[in-house]
Amino acid sequence: IEHIELKGIPALRLSIANGASAVLSLFGGQVLSWSPPAGGERLYLSPLAAHDGLQPIRGGIPVCFPQFADLGPLMQHGFARTAQWTVLTERHGKDFALVSLGLSDSAATRALWPHAFEAELSVLIEDNRLDLELEVGNRGDSEFSFTAALHTYLAVHEVEQTRLEGLHGYSYRDKTDANRIKRDSGDVVEIEAETDRIYHDVQRPLLLREYRRSLGINAEGFADVVVWNPWVERSAAIADLPKDGFRHLLCVEAAAAQHPVRLAAGERWWGRQTLVEL
């Protein structure tokens, strides 16, 4: 585990004996890169991403907390992705590297969201796996609720040739069609247009298939799966994404979106997303 700077932003590089590595930015508590031992980079990071320590970084795995998207009064995706996280623990052996980062309430967060909380993000690489766990505790004396997501940008060779399996039969909210609730009836999700869906109560691991490689995607604690690709028109409005960037990314996010998580004073919650190179 090395402390590095990435375009001036403090970050940690995790690497293990089998050749796997990951990069984790303290700004946003955001994983920016993950390469499993056998393959190349698995996360999409926009070449136009801001690295100014102010704007969110487009790509990797942004942490959306305490609000997912625009599901509340806060700024889009909450404040965690533009906050400075601190290193809580670093542990490594020959076969694994584990870092956990912390974020807790401050005058700045309380001005936006008046609650005493502590969040911990644990990032583990081991074998062919990346494991991300977000834990939230209520350290105040009254209940609060939040929505959240690990907004994972997966790198794909060509999004139109990518198939996402495992969502068959689940219902989803379609943001590209007036938030209508629909049911997925296809065997696989293919991306051929703007896609922005919240799948509800997903109980199965997912499989992302591409020519010659596959990725298993599993979640615990997070009830929902968000599938997002901005496609041509919406991409044009996203300044920090290149024109053809959408072709090389697919967001498959572990989210607590449909039902906010309620935490009574002193309670804790956790959710995890695991990516496995197959």
198 closest CA partner among 79, 30, 69: 69
211 CA to centre of own chain? 24
Instruction: Report if residue 77 touches ligand TA6, rule: CB under 6 A.
Output: yes
Write down the least CB distance from residue 90 to ligand TA6, Å: 28
Instruction: Report if residue 226 touches ligand TA6, rule: CB under 6 A.
Output: yes
The only residue of 151, 173, 247, 272 in contact with ligand TA6, by rule CB under 6 A:
151
Query: Which string of DSSP letters, residue by residue, matches 161-188?
Result: G-EEES-TT-EEEEGGGTTEEEE--SSE
Instruction: Report if residue 191 touches ligand TA6, rule: CB under 6 A.
Output: no
Instruction: Report if residue 246 touches ligand TA6, rule: CB under 6 A.
Output: no
Task: Answer whether 227's CB lies under 8 Å from 195's CB.
Answer: yes
The only residue of 175, 200, 209, 248 in contact with ligand TA6, by rule CB under 6 A:
175
30 closest CA partner among 135, 153, 127: 153
**48 vs 116, which CB is nearer to ligand TA6?**
48
**210 vs 240, which CB is nearer to ligand TA6?**
240
- Give the footprint of ligand TA6 on residues 112-131 (CB under 6 A): none
**24 vs 69, which CB is nearer to ligand TA6?**
69
Environment class of 22 (CB within 10 Å of its CB; exposed 0-12, middle 13-18, buried 19+): buried
Compute the radius of gyration of the chain from its Cα atoms. 18
Instruction: Report if residue 172 touches ligand TA6, rule: CB under 6 A.
Output: no
**56 vs 60, which CB is nearer to ligand TA6?**
56
- d(C-alpha 205, C-alpha 222), whole Å: 12
Is the Cα dihedral 157, 161, 166, 171 positive or negative?
Answer: positive
Instruction: Report if residue 196 touches ligand TA6, rule: CB under 6 A.
Output: yes
The CA dihedral of 176, 179, 185, 187, to the nearest 10 degrees, is: 50
Write down the least CB distance from residue 240 to ligand TA6, Å: 8
Specify the residue for token string 């989803």: 172
Write down the least CB distance from residue 166 to ligand TA6, Å: 18
Specify the residue for token string 């024109």: 243
Instruction: Report if residue 65 touches ligand TA6, rule: CB under 6 A.
Output: no
Instruction: Report if residue 150 touches ligand TA6, rule: CB under 6 A.
Output: no
Binding residues for ligand TA6, rule: CB under 6 A, are: 56, 69, 76-77, 151, 175, 196, 226, 228, 251, 253
